[in-house]
């Protein structure tokens, strides 16, 4: 179940004539639910307080997203 990453990357074609400085690596989000199918039984839970904060009761679905201005705070960074 844990054989996935929350982020994938790809490398778009860079033309010598692109006016903006190229972004060589693009990333996109691939949150855990994409890999889950039907939710299996007996998954690990947050305690109620943590669950309210996280937005989900289930640890397996927790995928916090942080912007470029707040880097390094998420498990998916």
Partner 1 sequence: MWIYEKKLQYPVKVRECNPRLAKYLIEQYGGADGELAAALRYLNQRYTIPDKVIGLLTDIGTEEFAHLEMIATMIYKLTKDATPEQLKAAGIEDHYVNHDNALFYQNAAGVPFTASYIQAKGDPIADLYEDIAAEEKARATYQWIIDMSDDPDLNDGLRFLREREIVHSQRFREAVELLKDERDRKKIF
* Residues engaged in binding partner 1 (CB under 8 A): 29, 31-33, 36-39, 52-56, 61-70
**Whole-number minimum distance, CB 60 to partner 1, in Å?**
10
* Cβ-based nearer residue to partner 1, 14 or 52: 52
| CB of 16 vs partner 1, minimal distance in Å | 28
Q: 17 vs 49, which CB is nearer to partner 1? A: 49
Strand-pair partners of 58:
45
Is the Cβ of residue 4 or residue 65 nearer to partner 1 in the bound state? 65
Q: Is the dihedral of CA 49, 51, 53, 59 positive or negative?
A: positive
Q: Give the integer Cα–Cα distance in Å for 3 and 52.
A: 26
E strand segments, the chain: 7-10, 26-29
CB of 52 to partner 1, least distance (A): 7
Alpha carbon 35 to its chain's center:
12
């Amino acid at each position: 179940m844990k054989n996935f990453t929350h982020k994938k990357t790809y490398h778009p074609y860079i033309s010598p004539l692109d006016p903006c400085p190229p972004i060589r690596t693009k990333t996109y989000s691939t949150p855990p639910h994409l890999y889950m199918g039907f939710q299996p039984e007996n998954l690990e839970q947050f305690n109620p307080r943590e669950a309210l904060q996280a937005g989900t009761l289930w640890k397996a679905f927790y995928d916090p997203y942080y912007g470029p201005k707040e880097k390094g705070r998420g498990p998916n960074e």
